[in-house]
Amino acid sequence: MLAIFITAFFPLLKTFWDSFFSFGLRPGILKRFIGFDNYVRLFHDARFMTSLWNTLIFTLISVTLEFILGLATALILNAKFALRGLVRAAILIPWAVPTSVSSQMWKWMYNDQYGIVAQILYKLGWLAPGTPILSEKWSSMMAIIAVDVWKTAPFMALLLLAGLQTIPSELYEAARIDGASGWKQFTKITLPILSPTIAVALIFRTLDALRVFDIFYIMNKSVETLAVYNRHILMDRAFTGAWFGYGSAISVVIFLIISIFAIIYMRSLNLKFE
């Protein structure tokens, strides 16, 4: 508990405390208590609101797609077939690749001059030749979401597969004897028993998605998430002016949003962690 307090709770409490002050990291900038002024400024900051909206869109779409693909993949990998062990290992390769590496790799493949993905989209007629995928806001957002789903759906599948393997096979045998269809078995056995695992997987992925930084920073800095904007405030502006308290307020907002999502997941799935 002491280690958790030092590494987790103390920095969180310190960030929350700093959010009530106006100060910077450059020597000579006085630290002034301003109360909730930083939080009031946030919702008058158009750049903050845009980054908040981008973060929520990215989170909702990416986590939904990752859950659907991850669950489908886990159900397939839970079945018995030849070379199942090899397939299980191979499907984790995208997740094992460092995000900075995979982001740069996909950035090259999206390039409008020589990128293979861009050339395929041009050939299929889905995009006009020469269209810069990562320059337009919405095409860039969808492209980044596709990369995130490619990378992290295997992680979701791994978590759900672990949950599936804890379900006793006798339950399915009894259900088949009673004449239950595959869909009935899925909705009445698999989903209810798997719900705690689903909640943990969704919480993990939502937490990561809400604080996403590296994939946006590498692939397209012009489309900001809360973490990218917060990095700009804490690393660029805080050394030139009284912006560190403002950046701390953004960090607190990110934490609160993550907490709200976690509570919603647990309440909607009726979870009780004992």
Residue 172 has pLDDT above 90, yes or no: no
Closest CA to 39 of 234, 256, 260: 256
Compute the average pLDDT of residues 109-119: 89
Instruction: Report the half-sphere exposure of 252 (CA within 13 A, side-chain side).
Output: 18
Q: What percent of the chain has pLDDT over 90?
A: 31
Q: What is the pLDDT of residue 103?
A: 92
Q: What is the pLDDT of residue 261?
A: 82
What confidence tier does 269 reach under pLDDT thresholds 50, 70, 90?
low
What confidence tier does 109 reach under pLDDT thresholds 50, 70, 90?
very high
Compute the average pLDDT of residues 165-192: 86
Q: What is the pLDDT of residue 110?
A: 92
What confidence tier does 27 reach under pLDDT thresholds 50, 70, 90?
confident
Residue 273 has pLDDT above 60, yes or no: no
Q: Which two tokens stand for residue 167?
A: 């379900």
Compute the average pLDDT of residues 234-247: 84
Residue 266 has pLDDT above 80, yes or no: no
189-220 b/e with 16+ CB inside 10 Å = b?
Answer: bbeeebebbbbbbbbbbbbbbbbbbebbbbbb
Residue 271 has pLDDT above 60, yes or no: no
> Model confidence over 96-105: pLDDT tens digits?
889 999 999 9
Mean of per-residue pLDDT scores for the chain:
87
Q: Which two tokens stand for residue 171?
A: 């339950």
Residue 106 has pLDDT above 90, yes or no: yes
- In order, the DSSP letters of 139-194 are HHHHHHHHHHHHHHHHHHHHHHHHHHTTS-HHHHHHHHHTT--HHHHIIIIIHHHH
Residue 133 has pLDDT above 90, yes or no: no
For residues 207 and 212, give the distance between their C-alpha atoms in angstroms, rounded to a whole number.
9
Residue 48 has pLDDT above 60, yes or no: yes
